[in-house]
């Protein structure tokens, strides 16, 4: 199709219509010209489709991004991208809103789990692989969030104040490589301001850097409700306002053109890029089928299981207690709040309705069936919200906000969480509807239970007709549902085991003006109050077992979009649980599930620690594979684990640095993020960047370089690796560059290349690592270029950021400069 000829046939109004969505998930069609609409879908660890944030058609749930970052395996991530593209198509979509490549800055970011790493080189390598995999199947990737969205606190208004050197060296390279190496088709602007200007109307960012310097020729889209103006966004380079219907485009943009505020050529160019995207995803060849269906494939299940194992990081393994020998197990204690619950993903827009989930308890029961007895105890809770009500919920939908008259439609759902992008009947309006939800709860034990509810909109919860929670009177906005719902209200009631209690919730849609963005959602649940007796039960269970497996961490209520973490400690009484269980059973193994680093004051009291993150729907099978030795824990940390929160570069005690003050958060650490900070300031980490143990051992021979004189062609470094252990395994060989002395303060060293190698017992192999003159450089703001000074540089090769197995000194004979508009890397 000839795009320019198509644009010639279009009126200004038609061109403008392409620059905003039709609804929450689709673009606008122009029937007169046979221009179809396409659907986009959230990612990055699955393809949800256009349904509810918490429901809809079932989808495959892959590991979260930090777990992918821990694989250090771009080839495997590319394989996931191919698989994920099939999921996108099964949801009738053509664009995947992923990957997320913001940098792990503070350790407290609510979306830390959704990002790959603290290091831009590792992040970029994995993002390029992910995008290539997705786009090889004719699906567009939309990399996000461009740029400076490293915190969820006041994210829709906060200004991330970042110096240009830090931007060029740390925060922009993943986006840059996505453009130059992967040909990414779409970029999503972030909510925040960057140095005082909203990124959605930041011409330096969207036009000068992205298009003119890097050569990006795809579309730039807003995050949902993340554009705030008409002329400013279009002129800055924002092509697509999402979601629709338009708030700032449409007639407003047509008028802005007629008033001379926007050049008609600017609108034409943006419309042309939208048409080019449609062409690239094949929409003109055959109008997309927007219908959705579940697509559960055995090869996807196997891939998730492999990804989970390759991303799991073994942090401690005293006396090689892992893997556990099945033959030596008679009784296994499975303990902790994450043992029987399948914590497979984080919260927020990354949530999907997984085909199924396997809990660690279920996975171990299946793996040890007929071999060992399993005793289970929860010990304590770790939820930020009440445990979600699970079971049939009859939802009766009414016109108006009174739950009166005959319902328009009656729908039965399977839990107590509702997030409405659309309603189940076209007769209903999101601006004026109500729902009466009814379910039955039968406690398994006598005792006190707490009911909890949070609602974006007004709601009341009744138990057997008694008003228990009033979420309507004096409603105030809190932190849930992206900051549009109230804080959870809890009330305790004494319940009897075996008796059925009727829970009724009446929900009234809110006036949109009360919210800023029109979100309608509710979540309610009930949970037994766990006290000292629950921990004592866990202790008794552990004491009687050969080994105590303690499953602790967080969940998607903590690791979630819309809010940051309060600290880096395990929530609830989990630390106490670990200490008491380990005192009762010396064979105590902790399995961690968090979306980032956590403090470990209990580390010396346990024999092993395995970090499995949120590895997707196969969680329980992955855990069993790893603990019992059927798979190797192949992960290495993509983020430094500090000993304490205050060891982090962003946690200085100055609120202007974190979490922000007066609408600004100042990145005072500049380029000294993560291990760069720990190196430069002499702060010993708990576990260094790149660290991870395995079930075998490796020997690295002295590295060899193709030459020690750096020229434009770069240098190849080869390292011979031998598996000296008794079983197969994999190691990650990492190359860091230590710069020559200069007047510019630079990190002590920076990751510049890595390779993962898998070897059988006794097998050897060679990895090749390439570096170029840019790998020696820093960004010179005054010159507006990357600059490598002449002199001596040291290449450090090892298995983590504090490991120096081998070094090579090289020479750069003359200064090298790399222009920002160089289209190669």
pLDDT digits (tens, 9 = 90+) for 446-488: 999 999 999 999 999 999 999 999 999 989 988 899 888 999 9
Give the per-residue pLDDT at 517: 52
- Which pLDDT band holds residue 1 (cuts at 50, 70, 90)? confident
Supply the pTM of this predicted model: 0.95
Beta-carbon contacts of 287 under 8 Å, excluding residues fewer than 6 positions away, are 36
Cis peptide bond N-terminal to 325, omega within 30: no
Whether residue 397 is found in the same domain as residue 522:
yes
Residue 130 pLDDT greater than 50, yes or no: yes
One DSSP character per residue, 756-798 reads: EEEE-TT-EEEEEEEE-GGGG-EEETTTTEEEE-SEEEEEEEE
Residue 512 pLDDT greater than 70, yes or no: no
Tell me the backbone φ, ψ of residue 221, rounded to 5 degrees.
Answer: -120, 155
Give the per-residue pLDDT at 518: 61
From CA 307, how far away is CA 599, in angstroms rounded?
Answer: 25
Cite the beta strand spans of 580-703 per DSSP E: 588-593, 608-611, 664-666, 698-700
Does residue 276 fall inside a structural domain? yes
Task: Assign 716 to helix, strand or coil.
Answer: strand
From CA 79, how far away is CA 489, in angstroms rounded?
Answer: 44
| Burial (CB count within 10 angstroms: exposed 0-12, middle 13-18, buried 19+), residue 247 | middle
Give the per-residue pLDDT at 52: 74
- Which pLDDT band holds residue 258 (cuts at 50, 70, 90)? very high
CATH of the domain at 570: 3.40.50.1700
- Short-list 768, 758, 753, CA closest to 125: 753
Cis peptide bond N-terminal to 44, omega within 30: yes
Asked which of 477, 508, 528 is the last residue of a domain, the reply is 528
One DSSP character per residue, 93-137 reads: -SEEE--B-----SS--TTGGGS--S-HHHHHHHHHHHHHHHHTT
Strand order in the sheet with 816-819: 778-780, 785-788, 816-819
Residue 687, beta-bridge partner list? 641
Whether residue 275 is found in the same domain as residue 372:
no
Q: What distance lies between CA 501 and its chain's CA centroid? A: 37
Residue 516 pLDDT greater than 60, yes or no: no
Average pLDDT over residues 126-150: 98
Strand order in the sheet with 197-198: 197-198, 193-194, 159-161, 664-666
Average pLDDT over residues 217-224: 97
Does residue 553 fall inside a structural domain? yes
Whether residue 631 is found in the same domain as residue 727:
no
Whether residue 498 is found in the same domain as residue 542:
no
Beta-carbon contacts of 701 under 8 Å, excluding residues fewer than 6 positions away, are 719, 720, 721, 722, 806
Does residue 363 fall inside a structural domain? yes
From CA 262, how far away is CA 253, in angstroms rounded?
Answer: 8
CATH of the domain at 798: 2.60.40.10
Whether residue 536 is found in the same domain as residue 518:
no
Q: Which residue range(s) make up the domain with 485?
A: 390-528
Does residue 798 fall inside a structural domain? yes
Asked which of 588, 605, 638 is the last residue of a domain, the reply is 638
Does residue 159 fall inside a structural domain? no
Whether residue 716 is found in the same domain as residue 798:
yes
Token pair 């003159």: residue: 773
Give the per-residue pLDDT at 514: 47
Does residue 670 fall inside a structural domain? no
One DSSP character per residue, 238-304 reads: --BB-SSSPSSSTHHHHHHHHTTSS-HHHHHHHHHHHHHHHHHTTTTTS-----------HHHHHHH
From CA 145, how far away is CA 150, in angstroms rounded?
Answer: 9
Whether residue 506 is found in the same domain as residue 596:
no
Whether residue 793 is found in the same domain as residue 722:
yes
**120-135 vs 74-90: helix crossing angle, rounded to 10:** 40
Chain segment 600-621, per-residue pLDDT in tens: 999 999 999 999 999 999 999 9
How many percent of the chain have pLDDT more than 90? Answer: 93
From CA 151, how far away is CA 109, in angstroms rounded?
Answer: 5
Chain segment 626-671, per-residue pLDDT in tens: 999 999 999 999 999 999 999 999 999 999 999 999 999 999 999 9
Q: What distance lies between CA 95 and its chain's CA centroid? A: 18
Does residue 47 fall inside a structural domain? no
Give the per-residue pLDDT at 51: 73
Average pLDDT over residues 235-239: 98
Cis peptide bond N-terminal to 326, omega within 30: no
Whether residue 704 is found in the same domain as residue 775:
yes
State the total domains in the chain. Answer: 4
Asked which of 261, 280, 299 is the last residue of a domain, the reply is 280
Residue 7 pLDDT greater than 60, yes or no: yes
- Burial code of 99-130, b = ≥16 C-beta within 10 A, e = fewer? bbbbbbbbbbbbbbbbbbbbbbbbbbbbbbbb
Residue 281 pLDDT greater than 80, yes or no: yes
Token pair 């197990």: residue: 329
Residue 515 pLDDT greater than 60, yes or no: no
Average pLDDT over residues 699-722: 94
Chain segment 364-415, per-residue pLDDT in tens: 999 999 999 999 999 999 999 999 999 999 999 999 999 999 999 999 999 9
Average pLDDT, the chain: 96
Query: Rounded to whole angstroms, what are the CA distances from 519 to 225, 430, 562?
Result: 11, 9, 13
Beta-carbon contacts of 554 under 8 Å, excluding residues fewer than 6 positions away, are 343, 382, 565, 570, 571, 593, 594, 595
- Short-list 118, 129, 125, 144, CA closest to 44: 144
Q: Are 604 and 54 in contact (CB under 8 A)?
A: no
Whether residue 535 is found in the same domain as residue 406:
no
Does residue 458 fall inside a structural domain? yes
- Which pLDDT band holds residue 513 (cuts at 50, 70, 90)? low
Cite the beta strand spans of 554-606 per DSSP E: 588-593
Average pLDDT over residues 317-333: 96
- Burial code of 62-74, b = ≥16 C-beta within 10 A, e = fewer? bbbbbbbbbbbbb
Q: Are 253 and 217 in contact (CB under 8 A)?
A: no
Residue 244 pLDDT greater than 50, yes or no: yes
CATH of the domain at 231: 3.20.20.300
> Which residues participate in catalysis according to the annotation?
223
From CA 734, how far away is CA 730, in angstroms rounded?
Answer: 13
Provide the pairing of β-strand 390-399 with 520-528: unpaired
Whether residue 710 is found in the same domain as residue 777:
yes
Whether residue 399 is found in the same domain as residue 518:
yes
Give the torsion through C-alpha atoms of 427, 428, 429, 433, to 10 deg. 150
From CA 257, how far away is CA 266, in angstroms rounded?
Answer: 9
Record the tokens describing residue 489, joined without a space.
Answer: 């209200």
């Amino acid at each position: 199709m000839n795009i320019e000829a198509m644009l010639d046939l279009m009126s200004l109004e038609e061109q403008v219509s392409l620059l905003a969505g039709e609804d929450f998930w689709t673009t606008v069609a122009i029937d007169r010209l046979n221009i179809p609409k396409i659907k986009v879908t959230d990612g990055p660890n699955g393809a949800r489709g256009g349904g509810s944030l918490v429901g809809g058609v079932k989808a495959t749930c892959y590991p979260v991004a930090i777990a992918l970052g821990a694989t250090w395996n771009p080839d495997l991530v590319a394989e996931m991208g191919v698989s994920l593209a099939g999921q996108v198509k099964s949801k009738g979509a053509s664009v995947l809103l992923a990957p997320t490549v913001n940098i792990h800055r503070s350790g407290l970011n609510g979306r830390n789990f959704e990002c790959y790493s603290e290091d831009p080189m590792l992040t970029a390598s994995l993002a390029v692989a992910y995008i290539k995999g997705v786009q090889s199947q004719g699906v567009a990737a939309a990399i996000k969030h461009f740029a400076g969205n490293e915190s969820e606190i006041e994210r829709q208004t906060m200004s991330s104040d970042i110096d240009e050197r830090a931007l060029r060296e740390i925060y922009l390279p993943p986006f840059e490589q996505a453009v130059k190496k992967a040909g990414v088709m779409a970029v999503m602007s972030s909510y925040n301001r960057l140095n005082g200007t909203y990124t959605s109307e930041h011409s330096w960012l969207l036009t000068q850097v992205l298009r003119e310097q890097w050569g990006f020729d795809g579309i730039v889209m807003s995050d949902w409700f993340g554009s705030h103006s008409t002329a400013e966004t279009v002129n800055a380079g924002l092509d697509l306002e999402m979601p629709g219907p338009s708030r700032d485009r449409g007639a407003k943009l047509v008028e802005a053109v007629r008033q001379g505020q926007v050049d008609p050529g600017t609108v034409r160019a943006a419309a042309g890029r939208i048409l080019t995207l449609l062409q690239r995803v094949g929409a003109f060849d055959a109008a997309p089928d927007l219908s959705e269906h579940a697509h559960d494939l055995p090869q996807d299940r196997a891939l998730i299981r492999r990804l989970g194992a390759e991303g799991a990081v073994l942090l401690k393994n005293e006396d090689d207690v892992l893997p556990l020998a099945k033959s030596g197990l008679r009784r296994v204690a499975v303990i902790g709040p994450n043992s029987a619950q399948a914590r497979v993903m984080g919260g927020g827009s990354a949530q999907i309705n997984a085909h199924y989930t396997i809990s660690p308890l279920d996975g171990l029961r299946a793996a040890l069936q007929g071999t060992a007895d399993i005793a289970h105890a929860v010990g304590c809770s770790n939820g930020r919200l009440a445990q979600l009500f699970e079971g049939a919920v009859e939802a009766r939908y009414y016109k108006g906000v009174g739950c009166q008259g005959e319902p328009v439609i009656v729908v039965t759902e399977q839990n107590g969480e509702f997030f409405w992008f659309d309603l189940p009947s076209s007769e209903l309006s999101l601006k004026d509807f109500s729902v009466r939800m009814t379910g039955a709860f039968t406690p398994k034990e006598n005792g006190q239970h707490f009911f909890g509810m949070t609602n974006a909109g007004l709601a009341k919860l009744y138990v057997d007709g008694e008003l228990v929670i009033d979420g309507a009177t004096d409603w105030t906005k809190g932190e849930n549902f992206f900051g549009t719902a109230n804080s959870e209200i809890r009330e305790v009631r004494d319940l009897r085991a075996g008796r059925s209690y009727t829970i009724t919730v009446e929900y009234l849609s809110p006036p949109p003006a009360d919210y800023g963005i029109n979100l309608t959602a509710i979540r309610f649940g009930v949970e037994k109050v766990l006290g000292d007796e629950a921990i004592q039960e866990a202790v008794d269970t552990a004491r009687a077992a050969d080994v105590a497996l303690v499953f602790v961490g967080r969940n998607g209520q903590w690791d979630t979009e819309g809010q940051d973490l309060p600290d880096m400690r395990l929530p609830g009484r989990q630390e106490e649980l670990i200490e008491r269980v380990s005192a009762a059973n010396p064979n105590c193994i902790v399995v961690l599930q968090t979306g980032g680093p956590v403090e470990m004051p209990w580390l010396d009291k346990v024999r092993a620690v395995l970090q499995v993150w949120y590895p997707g729907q196969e969680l329980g099978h992955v855990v069993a594979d790893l603990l019992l030795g059927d798979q190797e824990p192949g992960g290495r940390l993509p983020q430094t684990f500090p000993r304490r929160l205050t060891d982090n570069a962003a946690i200085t005690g100055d609120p202007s640095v974190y979490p922000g003050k007066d609408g600004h958060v100042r990145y005072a650490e500049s380029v000294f993020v993560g291990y760069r900070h720990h190196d430069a300031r002499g702060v010993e980490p708990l576990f260094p960047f790149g660290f991870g143990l395995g079930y075998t051992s490796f020997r690295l021979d002295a590295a060899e370089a193709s030459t020690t004189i750096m020229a434009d062609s770069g240098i190849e470094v080869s390292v011979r690796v031998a598996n000296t252990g008794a079983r197969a395994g994999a190691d990650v060989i990492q190359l860091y560059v230590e710069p020559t002395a200069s007047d510019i303060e630079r990190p002590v060293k920076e990751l510049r290349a890595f390779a993962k190698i898998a070897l059988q017992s006794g097998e050897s192999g060679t990895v090749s690592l390439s570096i170029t003159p840019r790998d020696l450089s820093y960004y010179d703001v005054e010159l507006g270029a990357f600059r490598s000074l002449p002199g001596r540089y040291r290449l450090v090769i090892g298995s983590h950021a504090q490991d120096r197995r081998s070094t090579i000194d090289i020479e750069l004979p003359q200064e090298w400069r790399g222009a920002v508009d160089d289209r190669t890397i």
